[in-house]
Amino acid sequence: MKFFFINLFFSLFISNAYAQNNFETQATEITEEMTEVLSLNEELKANVYKIQLQRFQEVASIREEYKDDPQTRKAELKKVFNRLFGKLTKALGKDNMQQWGDYKREIGRE
């Protein structure tokens, strides 16, 4: 029985660590892409990374919390997107956000 609980503990710890690492990877990838497209300096790059990481964490939390309620989940995810847009606009400025939107439309990701 003791062995079971030890395995359970390590399984939960590893899955949590993996999920955190996955959020960091996703945030890094999008930050690198934005840095390349918008020619961001290191300070802006760090700010974008923090914003993106927080977004991925919030989205995961919402998906878990509202997994059985798709309408609420959709509404909450929309709020996250709106906050993301506001935070990025504040950090990068309207011109950079316009450029980022143009880039996403150009590559067909919007």
Q: Which two tokens stand for residue 63?
A: 């998906």
One digit per residue, the tens of pLDDT, for the chain of length 110 reads 655 556 555 555 554 444 456 899 999 999 999 999 999 999 999 999 999 999 999 999 999 999 999 999 999 999 999 999 999 999 999 999 999 999 999 988 76
User: Which one, of 43, 44, 25, lies nearest residue 34 by Cα?
Assistant: 44
What are the domain boundaries of the chain?
2-106
Positive or negative torsion for Cα 83, 85, 86, 88: positive
- Measured CA distances, 40 to 37, 64, 104 (Å): 8, 33, 17
pTM for this one?
0.77
